[in-house]
Structure 1
């Protein structure tokens, strides 16, 4: 029984009709073609040639090594590049991005998903939260871009999942696990801010699941994960559109081929490399969204 059938049963039970009450035009309703919610034809494309030319003239500014089941932070000046790299074995990472000068402006996975789709790759942008809604970063290189969408509907670098966390663990009957990605990100951000974890936690947000291979099952519509195709040397490289703070957790699920939020999976470190250069000629940081915030008042 797939999720549509279950939904129909639930609806029928709720309204007190028989479970076999299928309307005569059911197939016609299902056959209505979909419409893209946010057509992007008018969205200004990123200047990829400009970014790639700039990347070719960068110098290495520094590397942050993120230990397994922990998180780390890196600051990336506007006009520079962040490269997240697999270095020892297949490992996925959960990424938070902030405007380093204003942590209230942070990565908005839901709007990024609405504009670019469930998984992102080179040429896609990571958008910031309301009321700013502007590109925080643009993906310039993706060595897993070849993967595409597999036979199960899986793809790499998703903006679907939230992040593994101790609250859901408790909800599902587990014990307290403090090295899930939400907790890792919270500790790392708290250290960077020099505040207690409870002060930093509300700023931790839904992530870009770097290197993670995910999708939705076709029979139940459930979010799934499978072993990541990432290998040492693979990387995802971003152009920083504003001064960025990156917070990256090396997920306790390792390659997420079996489970997460446990000490059972084989885990490996990740690296965040910062590559800097003179800002590209002709490039300017994107302005915040021009909406006047009146909301009809």
Structure 2
């Protein structure tokens, strides 16, 4: 039975919030040192991700990689793993809890438990001007999961094989030389690169809208550890209407890797989390 609103309802609603995970006590990246390390860097690799598909790439610790819009408005779904152990993978939920729903320059991408360390740091974002719009939307979110064929089947009754989840699964299977059903559990919630999203204010539902990304825009990262990455060019294109589609205008994405002349001053690759893992034994 539904309970009636208490007399002090407004008082309860006006209790001020408390940040769950204040990060001022954490070591923070020295962005000025990272920016200085970009001077004179050398491009060592590039990778084209075709529309409605995904590709993998590796980035050594201490190098930079950049995801670039090159032909038209296109969003991408990014997965990251430790190159030598894919059980250590990007943890979007903890990243969201530490940095917020949408990421930009200075935010870090954290790995899952029990490793919990920075995998990459965002060093440059050409869309950081966007901020939050009147609908509460912003870019580069860690609130969505990735378009997947299971949810598509649930909602539409149809099978669609080029969702980002499937594309990432195929790409990882090709990279590892393993069957898709073996590697699929390692595919995880993503950083939605260039995607513009938020939550509706009336129902709290996850929404998307046309991405502001245009050719030449980029999101740049510094690899804190040796990384294996996978990027999917979403079948929704700019995600202005739907995200699992064979009719949306879709474009490739470019991944460039840069090696600096020397690592950022004072930088060392972070060790895995130091918690004893005793769990109260």
TM-score tier, shorter chain, comes to over 0.9
CA RMSD of aligned residues (A): 0.9
Give the secondary structure class of the aligned counterpart of 1:172. helix
> In 2, Cα distance between the equivalents of 1:166 and 1:143?
31
Residue of structure 1 equivalent to 2:276: 292
Look up the match of 2:45.
62
How far the C-alpha of 1:281 sits from its partner, in A, is 3.7
Aligned ranges for residues 150-229 of structure 1 at < 5 Å? Answer: 150-229=133-212
Counterpart in the other structure of 2:219: 236
* Among candidates 220, 234, 238, match of residue 255 of structure 1: 238
How many residues align structurally? 280
Aligned partner of 1:103 in structure 2 is 86
Deviation digits for residues 153-174 of structure 1 (CA, Å, limit 9, x no counterpart): 0000000000000000111133
SS at match of 1:182: helix
Q: State the distance in 2 between where 1:109 and 1:283 align.
A: 24
- Give structure 2 stretches of 5+ with no counterpart: none
Q: Give how far 1:44 is off.
A: 1.3
**Aligned pairs (5 A) from 1:114-129:** 114-129=97-112
Q: What is the distance in 1 between the residues matched to 2:225 and 2:239?
A: 31
Does residue 279 (structure 1) correspond to residue 263 (structure 2)? The answer is yes
Where 1:188 maps in the other structure, the secondary structure is helix
- Map Cα deviations across residues 21-49 of structure 1 (whole Å, 9 max, x no partner): 22111111111111110011101110111
CA displacement at 1:57 relative to structure 2: 2.1
1:4 is aligned to none
Deviations 1:195-253 (A, max 9, x none): 11101100000000000000000000000000000000000000000111110000000
Inter-partner Cα distance in structure 2 for 1:102 and 1:81: 20
Aligned to 2:58: 75
* TM-score (norm: length of structure 2): 0.98
Shift of 1:280: 2.7
CA separation in 2, counterparts of 1:259 and 1:273?
A: 28
Q: Report deviation, 1:56.
A: 1.8
Question: Which 10-residue stretch deviates more, 235-244 or 49-58?
Answer: 49-58
TM-superposition CA deviations, 1:69-116 (whole Å, max 9, x none): 000111101100010000000000000001101111110000000000
Q: TM-score, normalised by structure 1?
A: 0.93
The whole-number CA distance in structure 1 between the counterparts of 2:36 and 2:57 is 23
